[in-house]
Amino acid sequence: MKSYASATRSRIGRALVPALCLILAMAAPSAADADEVLALVPGALPGSSLLRHLAARQVDVVSVSVEGAVVVASRSLLDAIGAGRGGYVLLMEDISVFQTSSTEAVEASAFHTWEELNAEMADLAEAWPSIASLHLVGQSLEGRAIWALKISDNVDLDEPGEPRVLLIGCHHAREWISVEVPLLIARHLLEQSAAGGRAEAAVDGAETWVVPMLNPDGHVFSVEHERLWRKNRRNNGNGTWGVDLNRNYGYMWGHDDEGSSPNPGSGTYRGPSPFSEPETRVIRDLMSTGRHFSAVISYHNFSQLVLHPWGYTAEPTADASYFDWLAASMAAMITAVHGVPYQGGGSDLLYGTNGDSDDWVYGTFRIPTFTIELRPGPNNGYDGFISPPSDIQPTFEENLPAALWLIEQAMAGLPLQGDLNTSGRVDGIDLGHFSRTFGAGAGSELWLAEADFDGNGVVDGDDLAVLSFFFGVYGWGALPF
Ligand code: 0X9
Ligand code: CA
Ligand code: ZN
């Protein structure tokens, strides 16, 4: 993964006198890697030990596919790692073409700067005061506001019958389109809130919380200085900058050095301790305060994937078949819109991670949580992070139905209303159970035993109401049955 120190050094080195370059090089103790290149490492296939090895080193893995891993790293490191293991293919020697960007250019484009985003979120809340409210959910390390937009009817009330769904964008600074997709979903819900369709039902029946930019410091840095910046802007004190927010969550944090790195210069540096970063604490605190959430989507780019936990282990979660079904369904819905193929499944589709948002959310709350890697596809090179503005609208359009559907799953929740097998959580097993009892018909012993929740001897609408109530209170988490 790319370090700020090295990238800055090469950029300034090109622009300024060699003497300054030398001083900077001396000030930064990490390995000299001004010779960073873009390369394909064919042996680094998904799930391979070579890929894990690369991820643990000072290598920026930008995409992984059946062709291998596209990485940014110094030639010397690649030589050292690649020796005897299939080597690497040089894709691009001068990657400075990706390093230019400016606030003015972004303002003039369809992408939002942090300030433009704040203004737009405030505008939305002002334009729809009865169904949208703005919440200051925290501050970044450098003191920037992090806002959430809550979208629901009776927005000033907490309505326990309405499941909460959280949409997050921009854990990673350079993934600009991951800001735009949740923001446009929010706008769609508001604009269509009286149109009589799915958006209106979602506004009436759920609370959708949207945090489009979790990493404002990194985003601003990506806009103003280094387009391909990934992490936040923590000064690590050894000449390197940034913690990977998607390795800093407090579930199985630092489980191994492959799914995250202890090296502050690494692009996947997990930070000094779990939740050491104010940005990850925003999500922790939002989700731990008050009523629990029922589902989460964290948007990233790129690779066209819908991923579910675990990231820290190849072992499936207890809910893997259910999550596979949800992820595959969403991927199919996304694909159906414009024919751009997304794939759903576990982390084996990409690479292992520890300390990411999905593992903490599922590990803590036992609810469905997905990382959606937006377009472009997995075979794109380093510029896969540089989404053209013309991608914003179609990427939003293709992702809208899946987001609506997940909200609807949380709302209707029929298969999810009760922990029928008393496993302590509501999952796909209960779904099967529930349909079987339903098939057996109301009045049957099976049905009564399992679905007569209020114990009055008949299965009726009241039982559904009981289920809905607990579902609303507890989401897909543990239920008191
Ligand atoms: O590495 C990440 O944090 C995500 N990919 S990205 O290129 N956007 O940085 C993927 C996280 C996927 N999570 C799991 N594999 N559990
Ligand atoms: Ca409401
Ligand atoms: Zn990302």
Q: Which residues contact 274 (CB under 8 A, 6 or more apart)?
A: 248, 249, 250, 253, 254, 355
Q: Tell me, what DSSP letter sits at residue 241? A: B
Task: State the pLDDT at residue 68.
Answer: 82
Instruction: Name the active-site residue from 226, 277, 373, 398.
Output: 373
Which ligand lies nearest to the CA atom of residue 244 in the structure?
1
Task: State the pLDDT at residue 407.
Answer: 94
Please check whether residues 195 and 245 belong to one and the same domain.
Answer: yes
- Integer Cα distance of 119 and 183 in angstroms: 12
Please check whether residues 177 and 308 belong to one and the same domain.
Answer: yes
Please check whether residues 305 and 401 belong to one and the same domain.
Answer: yes
Which ligand lies nearest to the CA atom of residue 378 in the structure?
1
- pLDDT for 95 beyond 50: yes
- Integer Cα distance of 360 and 338 in angstroms: 32
- Integer Cα distance of 22 and 245 in angstroms: 31
- pLDDT for 55 beyond 60: yes
Task: State the pLDDT at residue 378.
Answer: 81
Best mean pLDDT range from 190-194, 262-266, 423-427: 190-194
Residue at 423 is within a domain: no
Atom of ligand 1 nearest to the CA of 178: 8
Please check whether residues 22 and 114 belong to one and the same domain.
Answer: no
Please check whether residues 52 and 121 belong to one and the same domain.
Answer: no
> Can you give the residue range of the structural domain that contains 265?
103-412
Which among 98, 123, 142 is the end of a domain?
98
Cross-strand pairs, 132: 151
Name the residue with higher pLDDT: 223 or 68: 223
Which among 363, 383, 412 is the end of a domain?
412
Task: State the pLDDT at residue 37.
Answer: 82
8 Å CB contact between 5 and 58: no
Which ligand lies nearest to the CA atom of residue 411 in the structure?
2
- Integer Cα distance of 384 and 336 in angstroms: 22
DSSP-derived 3-state class of residue 295: strand
8 Å CB contact between 267 and 377: no
- Integer Cα distance of 300 and 297 in angstroms: 10
CA 374 to chain centre: 10
8 Å CB contact between 173 and 2: no
The pTM of the full predicted model, rounded to 2 decimals, is: 0.76
Please check whether residues 318 and 447 belong to one and the same domain.
Answer: no
- pLDDT for 296 beyond 90: yes
Q: Whose CA is nearest to atom 10 of ligand 1?
A: 371
Task: State the pLDDT at residue 312.
Answer: 96
Task: State the pLDDT at residue 444.
Answer: 52
Task: State the pLDDT at residue 231.
Answer: 96
Could you tell me which of 219, 188, 151, 195 has the C-alpha nearest to residue 399?
188
Mutate to test the pocket of ligand 1, among 270, 356, 383 (most ligand atoms within 8 A of CB): 356
- pLDDT for 176 beyond 60: yes
Average confidence (pLDDT) over 137-146: 98
- Integer Cα distance of 467 and 205 in angstroms: 15
Least confident of 1-10, 161-170, 357-366: 1-10
How many domains would you assign to the chain? 3
Ligand 2 centroid vs 43 CA: distance in angstroms?
51
Q: Are strands 132-139 and 145-151 parallel, antiparallel or unpaired?
A: antiparallel
Please check whether residues 153 and 295 belong to one and the same domain.
Answer: yes
Q: What is the DSSP string of 27-49?
A: H--SPP-TTEEEEEETT--TT-H
In this structure, the number of other CB atoms found within 10 A of the CB of residue 337 comes to 17
- pLDDT for 139 beyond 60: yes
Mean pLDDT of the chain: 81
Which among 45, 67, 98 is the end of a domain?
98
Please check whether residues 371 and 458 belong to one and the same domain.
Answer: no
Task: State the pLDDT at residue 21.
Answer: 26
Could you tell me which of 199, 210, 204 has the C-alpha nearest to residue 405?
199
Please check whether residues 92 and 184 belong to one and the same domain.
Answer: no
Q: Whose CA is nearest to atom 4 of ligand 1?
A: 300
Best mean pLDDT range from 95-99, 104-108, 310-314, 437-441: 310-314
Please check whether residues 276 and 323 belong to one and the same domain.
Answer: yes
Please check whether residues 79 and 120 belong to one and the same domain.
Answer: no
Residues 284-321, buried b or exposed e (16+ Cβ, 10 A)?
Answer: bebbeeebbbbbbbbbbbbbbbbbbbbbbbeeebbbbe
Mind listing the pLDDT tens digit for each residue in 313-334? 999 987 787 888 889 999 999 9
Task: State the pLDDT at residue 415.
Answer: 37
- Integer Cα distance of 339 and 335 in angstroms: 5
Average confidence (pLDDT) over 279-306: 95
What amino acid is encoded at 269 in this protein?
Answer: Y
Task: State the pLDDT at residue 463.
Answer: 57
Atom of ligand 1 nearest to the CA of 308: 16
Average confidence (pLDDT) over 71-92: 78
Task: State the distance between the two ends of the chain, measured CA to CA, in whole angstroms.
Answer: 47
Please check whether residues 166 and 302 belong to one and the same domain.
Answer: yes
Diameter of the chain measured on Cα atoms: 86
Mind listing the pLDDT tens digit for each residue in 345-390? 998 888 889 999 999 999 888 889 999 999 998 877 667 888 999 9
Average confidence (pLDDT) over 255-274: 94
Average confidence (pLDDT) over 31-54: 76
In the annotation, is 315 catalytic?
no
Q: Residue 197: give its domain's CATH number.
A: 3.40.630.10
- Integer Cα distance of 105 and 224 in angstroms: 10
Q: Residue 370 phi/psi, 5° resolution?
A: -130, 145
